[in-house]
Amino acid sequence: MKMDEEDHEMNMDHSQMDMGNQKMGQSDMMMHGGHMMHMGNLKQKFWVSLILTIPLLLMSSMMGMTHPLLEFQGSDWVVAILGTVIFFYGGKPFFSGAKGELTDKKPAMMTLITMGISVAYIYSIYSVIANNVFNVTPSVMDFFWELATLVDIMLLGHWIEMNAVMNAGSALNELAELLPSQAHRIDEKGQVTDVKLQDVTEGDRLLVRGGEKIPADGKVVDGESAVNEAMVTGESKLVQKKVDTKVFGGSVNGDGTIQIEVTGTGENSFLAQVTKMVESAQNEKSGRENLADKVASWLFYVALTIAVISFIAWWLTTDLATALPRAVTVLIIACPHALGLAIPLVVARSTSIGAKQGLLLRDRNAMEQVTSLKYALMDKTGTLTEGNFKVKEYGSLSAKKSDAEVLKTMASLEAGSSHPLAVGITKKARAKKIGYKSVNSSQIKGVGLKGEIDGTNYLIVSPGYVEEKGLSVDNERFDALASEGNSLSFLVENNKVVGFVAQGDQIKPAAKKLIDTLLSQGITPVMLTGDNKQAAKGVAEKLGITEFKAQLLPADKEKAVQSYQNDGKVMMIGDGVNDAPSLARADIGVAIGSGTDVAIESADLVLVKSDPHDIINFLELSRKTTSKMTQNLWWGAGYNIIALPLAAGVLAPVGFVLSPMVGAVLMSLSTVIVAINALTLKI
């Protein structure tokens, strides 16, 4: 039967992945303030700036020192030259980033960094000229050492950040590296030639020897072998492959030699789609990231305001020579570097962990909904049950058709489908040695399928459709079958039910633990199914689910999601085409990896292994991710909350004034804490 919740799986074109394209992007670059920062460039700028900083520090008066360690005639001008090189060379990435932010009228951390080092540079140039050209008394202290150390710290911080993001996002490269670099192509004469993977095209015939990685998605056209798909699908057991079965690029062939026909190329491959999901999740802004950006933006105005107030207050109470360094100190230490790292590092780490666990986030906002999650709505077949249907009973309900004819007709209609219910019917027909031929059939959304055989139109429908249309059946007989946990499919001809098939399914081993975990976390599990009420009740009772709704059409499921949303946040778990509207509607949509393309595209999260236990992992990962985000926001923002007033001199009356160097050290420490805190995330 074609149950409404169990729509047939749509075929997916698979092909090889473009290795070069997949390794580009975040492998060595990262976006900041509209400016693409290059990993190698940052590393080089850091080391050059650091080397120039060493002699600059030796020739500068710093941290209260009366005289520098190294002083000679003209040393001030040498310091100014070194400081100028560091400012323009080392500071270039921040200038570009600030330009992007100001162009977008969204000043944030890059603007703050630029403002801090610019103020320090301009003030220091003024001090060198005032001291060495005009010989002012008392001499004006320069900030070249603060400028140099700040640029070094910022470059180092961004280098650390990019390293962390690259390490956290390494799942992308791991996925790309699953594919071999070349393939054995068979030409029309049967000759085998080794070709580069990017030269493989749709329709090519490839030879895959025992132990080799399968280079592209396709179907087996010759040979038989057991294939290890664990690295691709997460399924640890070997999968037997024979003629006409699908294979995925990146999986490992067993002992047998097979020949495959490539079914697609480029971006349609399974691995390419997985990689795009991971990239999309890593590139997409979450609500908390937007909050962090807003905080950084507010900090720009707050720092500017505090600097102006501090300058005026110190100028009025002391003198200009004291007021300027205070204002400069405020602007220098206001850089929200840790705040800028707070969320991206956590999300990058979380996304990587999720990918390795078989949790592919298409929208990472979903993670932030978990803490307030109240309901978990879930499909039955394929989600809570194995979906491995076996025909328990079948028969004719018309005097014009025999039982065998009913099975033959249904098998012919279902022959082109890989849906578990369809597979169960065709297997039974083969076991009974009933010859059937594949005919053109098409899905009827939320109903089943239709097709034509020898000029007669047929439907295969669910009990819900039969009940809705008021078609005549022996309810007592089928209620008894359904109460035993069987899923029913009806064959309809000319608006009359002429046959049926009853199939049994098994509950997934991890399903009970999932329900128990949800209940222990205060989340109410609700089963939504297109199956009959008796079968739904049997599964619900075994799993401990007290709320369930049966014989639902797709529209009914979506309405159920909306109804529960009126009372709290809702997670929907499903795998069929009919689940797509519900998955899209829910606050968190979770698609089973073995489900249809439509369901996967509608979901926020895809479970590659199709294992209910992964939902438990997702809940744990989400809660820990949210906790880390909150901690990092406090570390990033908390530093500025404390440092800015101290830099402005609020404790000056008691003899404490925060120096730029100490402020820079605290800022660096805050950045390191945020990075370490993010990288300690694990499940």
In the prediction, which pLDDT does 32 show? 56
* Mean predicted lDDT score pLDDT of the chain: 81
Q: Residue 124: phi, psi to the nearest 5?
A: -70, -40
Highest mean pLDDT out of 75-89, 179-193, 321-335: 75-89
263 near 218, Cβ under 8 Å? Answer: yes
In the prediction, which pLDDT does 185 show? 94
Instruction: Give the model's confidence band at 521: pLDDT under 50 very low, under 70 low, under 90 confident, else very high.
Output: very high
Highest mean pLDDT out of 36-45, 115-124, 578-587, 653-662: 115-124
In the prediction, which pLDDT does 239 show? 75
Task: Give the mean pLDDT of 585-600.
Answer: 73
**Angle between helical axes of 109-132 and 287-317 (0-180°, round to 10):** 30
556 near 549, Cβ under 8 Å? Answer: yes
* pLDDT for 300 beyond 50: yes
Beta bridge partners, 460, equal 449, 491
Would you call 267 exposed, middle or buried from its count of C-beta atoms within 10 A (0-12, 13-18, 19+)?
middle
Q: Which two tokens stand for residue 451?
A: 């097709």
Task: Give the mean pLDDT of 507-533.
Answer: 91
Task: Give the mean pLDDT of 524-534.
Answer: 86
* pLDDT for 35 beyond 70: no
Beta bridge partners, 361, equal 605
* pLDDT for 623 beyond 50: yes
% of the chain exceeding 70 in pLDDT: 80
Task: Give the mean pLDDT of 522-527.
Answer: 96
* pLDDT for 404 beyond 90: yes
Instruction: Give the model's confidence band at 166: pLDDT under 50 very low, under 70 low, under 90 confident, else very high.
Output: low
| Least confident piece of the model among 230-244, 418-432, 615-629, 662-676 | 230-244
| Least confident piece of the model among 16-30, 195-209, 369-383 | 16-30
| Among 142, 204, 379, 531, the one annotated catalytic | 379
Instruction: Give the model's confidence band at 313: pLDDT under 50 very low, under 70 low, under 90 confident, else very high.
Output: very high
Q: For residue range 100-154, list pLDDT tens digits in order.
A: 889 988 887 788 788 888 988 998 999 899 999 988 877 877 888 878 987 887 7
Q: What angle do CA 95, 97, 100 make, to 5 degrees?
A: 110
Please tell me which residue, 163 or 610, carries the higher pLDDT value: 610
Instruction: Give the model's confidence band at 12: pLDDT under 50 very low, under 70 low, under 90 confident, else very high.
Output: very low
Q: Which two tokens stand for residue 558?
A: 């979506």
* pLDDT for 323 beyond 50: yes
In the prediction, which pLDDT does 583 show? 84
450 near 444, Cβ under 8 Å? Answer: yes
Strand, helix or coil for residue 33? coil
Instruction: Give the model's confidence band at 20: pLDDT under 50 very low, under 70 low, under 90 confident, else very high.
Output: very low
* pLDDT for 183 beyond 80: yes
Bin 48: left if φ > 0, else alpha if -120 < ψ < 50, else beta. alpha
Nearest to 574 by CA among 610, 532, 531, 520: 610
When computed from its CA atoms, the radius of gyration of the chain, rounded to whole angstroms, is: 33
Task: Give the mean pLDDT of 456-484.
Answer: 87
Instruction: Give the model's confidence band at 235: pLDDT under 50 very low, under 70 low, under 90 confident, else very high.
Output: very low
Please tell me which residue, 129 or 254, carries the higher pLDDT value: 129
In the prediction, which pLDDT does 337 show? 61
CA dist 83 and 86 (Å) reads 5
| Least confident piece of the model among 147-156, 327-336, 362-371, 551-560 | 327-336
DSSP 490-518: EEEETTEEEEEEEEE--B-TTHHHHHHHH
* pLDDT for 165 beyond 70: no
In the prediction, which pLDDT does 567 show? 95
What is the pTM (predicted TM-score) of this model?
0.60
CA dist 244 and 156 (Å) reads 55
Domains and CATH numbers, the chain: 27-168+284-348+627-679 (no CATH), 182-264 (2.70.150.10), 356-385+508-620 (3.40.50.1000)
CA dist 51 and 58 (Å) reads 12
CA dist 532 and 1 (Å) reads 12
According to DSSP, residue 576 is labeled S
* pLDDT for 509 beyond 50: yes
In the prediction, which pLDDT does 236 show? 43
Task: Give the mean pLDDT of 336-353.
Answer: 75
Please tell me which residue, 448 or 4, carries the higher pLDDT value: 448
Where helices occur in 416-489 by DSSP H, the ranges are 420-431, 463-469, 475-483
In the prediction, which pLDDT does 375 show? 97
Q: Does residue 379 have an active-site annotation?
A: yes
Task: Give the mean pLDDT of 436-443.
Answer: 83
